[in-house]
Structure 1
Amino acid sequence: MAQPRYARPVTGARTAAIDEGLRSHMSKVYGTMSIGMVITALASWAISGLAVTSDPSGASAQIGADTYLTSFGYAIYGSPLKWLIMFAPLLFVFGFSAGINRMSAATAQTVFYAFAAVMGVSISSIFLIFTGFSIVQTFLVTAASFAALSLWGYTTKKDISGWGSFLIMGVVGLIIGSIVNIFLQSEAIMFAISALGVLIFAGLTAYDTQNIKNTYIAHASHGDQEWLGKAAIMGALNLYLDFINLFMFLLQFMGAARE
C-alpha cells in the first residue's frame, strides 16, 4: 500500500515543534542560570563589603596592610560559623534535589535563587583573598570556556552519557580531598585538586548540557509543562554548579593574591 502523502509533513511538523520547544527550554535553562549567577555575584560582593573596613578602631582582626575585619566579617570568616557557611551550599543542593518533586516549578525557581544567594555568601571570601582584576579576568575566561564546552555538548553527535558515572565519582573524590586538605593545608594537594577540578567540571559542563537536551527530547511528547519547568530548573542548577566550580578552581591558578 502506498504511503499517505501527509505522513511526512506531519512528522516534519512534529520535529519542528520539538526543535522549537527545545530552543525555548534551553533558553529558560540558561536564563535561570544567568539570573542565579547575578544573584551570587551581588550577594558575594555585598557581604565582602560589609566584612572589611579600613578603620582599625573596633576592628576584630587585620587581614591586610590597611584592611581589617569588622565584627560581622570575623563572625562569618573567623568564628565557627564559617563552617556552616562553607558547607551550607552542599546541604542546600542535597535538600533541593531530594525535595524538588514535591515543589511546584515556581517554588523550585525561588528556592534556586535562594540557593544562589547562599552560594554568594559562601564564596564571598574570594574578594578578601584575590584582587578584583584577577577575579574579573578569571570570570571572563570561565565564561568563554563554559560557553564553548556547553555548545559542544549541545551540538556533538557523540553520545557522552557514559561520562556521567566517572565524573560524579571524580566530584566525590574532590569533595573528600578538599575536606581532608582543610586540615592538612598542603599546597601540593590543593594544586592537584584544582587541576582535576578544572578537568572534571569541564567534562560535566558538556555532559550536563547534552543530558538536559536529551531529557527534554525524551519527555517533550508527554506535554507535562510542570515537569518540564522543574526539569529546566534542575538543568539550570547543574550548569550553575559546573560554572561556579570551574570558576573557583581556575581562580586557584589565575587569581592574584591581595597584598
Structure 2
Amino acid sequence: MSFDHEQRRPADYAAYGSDIDAGLQAHMRRVYNTMCIGLGITGLTAYVVASVPALASVILTPPLFYVVAFAPLAFLWFGFSPQRIQRMSAGEATRMFAIFSGIMGLSMATLFLVFTHESIARVFFITAGTFAATSLYGYTTKRDLTKMGSFLFMGFMGIFFASLINMFFHSAAVHFAVSVIGVVVFTGLAAWDTQYIKESYRYNAMDDSANARLAITGALRMYLNFINLFQSLLSLLGDRR
C-alpha cells in the first residue's frame, strides 16, 4: 500500500526549503525597502520644515514644539504599535507607516538647525554602514541572539527614561552617556531584530497575509533602530552650527 500522497519525499522537503529561502529573501527585501522609504519620508520632511523659516518658527516654537516632539511616541503608543499592525490590512499598515515617518520628520527638523548639513550627511553614512553590517550579522549568524533581547530591552528603557528626565535638567554628562549607550543598544537591536524578523517569517512562511503585516512590523522595528542609532551617533560625532 502506498502512502506517497500522505508523506513528503526528501526531494519534496528540499523544494519546500528552497521555496522558504526564496520567500525569505523577498520578505527581507520588502522589509528593507519599506524601511528605506520611511527614512526618505522622514529626511525629506525634516529638511523641508527646517528650510522654510516661517514653517520652522511655528512648528519648532513652544508650546507646539513639545507637541511635535512627543507626537511620534504618542502615535506609536495609541495607533501604530506592532500589536495594532497585526489587526490592520497590509495597505492600511503601509499608509500608517508613511504617516508615522512624516510625523517623525517633523520632530527631527531641529537637527538641520543644530548640526551642519555636512556632518548630518557624514553621520548618516556612518550609521548606514554600521546598521548594514550588524543587520547582516543578525541574518547570517548561527548563534541564537534571543538572550540578548532582555539585556537590550533594559538598556532601551534606561535610555528612554534618562532622556526624558534630562529634558528638564539638561545635563551634558547624562546626554553623553545616553548617546554612548544608545549606540551599543541600537546596534545590538539591529542584529537582534533582523534575526527575529527572519525567524518570524519561517514560522509564518505559508501565510501571505500575515507575512505582509510582519514585513511592515519588521520595517518599523528596523526604522526605529536606524533613527535612534543615527541620533546617538550624531550627538557624538556631529558638528554643531
Q: TM-score range by the shorter chain?
A: over 0.9
Higher relative contact order (CA 8 A, sep 6+): 2
1:235 — aligned with what? 218
What is the aligned counterpart of 1:96 among 80, 95, 111? 80
Q: How does 1:178-193 map to 2 (within 5 A)?
A: 178-193=163-178
What is the aligned counterpart of 1:84 among 30, 52, 67? 67
In the alignment, residue 217 of structure 1 is paired with which amino acid? R
Tell me if 1:35 matches 2:37: yes
What is the aligned counterpart of 1:150 among 135, 138, 145? 135
TM-score where L is the length of structure 2? 0.94
- Return the alpha-carbon distance in structure 2 between the equivalents of residues 136 and 202 of structure 1: 19
Q: Secondary structure of the equivalent of 1:102?
A: coil
In the alignment, residue 147 of structure 1 is paired with which amino acid? A
What is the aligned counterpart of 1:106 among 72, 77, 91? 91
Q: Secondary structure of the equivalent of 2:239?
A: coil
1:122 — aligned with what? 107
TM-score where L is the length of structure 1? 0.88
In the alignment, residue 11 of structure 1 is paired with which amino acid? Y
Q: Deviations over 1:132-163 (max 9, x none)?
A: 00000000000000000000000000000111
| Identity score, percent | 44
Q: Please report how far the alpha carbon of residue 225 of structure 1 lies from its aligned counterpart in structure 2 after TM superposition.
A: 1.2
Q: Please report how far the alpha carbon of residue 224 of structure 1 lies from its aligned counterpart in structure 2 after TM superposition.
A: 1.9
In the alignment, residue 174 of structure 1 is paired with which amino acid? I
Q: Which runs of 4+ in 1 moved over 4 A?
A: none
Q: Please report how far the alpha carbon of residue 90 of structure 1 lies from its aligned counterpart in structure 2 after TM superposition.
A: 1.0
Tell me if 1:161 matches 2:146: yes
Kept in 1, the 8 Å contact 2:204–2:210? The answer is no
In terms of Rg, which structure is larger?
1
1:14 — aligned with what? 16
Structure 1: gaps spanning 5 or more residues = 53-69
Structure 2: gaps spanning 5 or more residues = none
Q: Deviations over 1:182-204 (max 9, x none)?
A: 11111000000000000000000
Q: Secondary structure of the equivalent of 1:152?
A: helix
Q: How many residues align?
A: 235
Measured on the aligned residues, the alpha-carbon RMSD in Å equals 1.6
Kept in 1, the 8 Å contact 2:41–2:98? The answer is yes
2:183 — aligned with what? 198
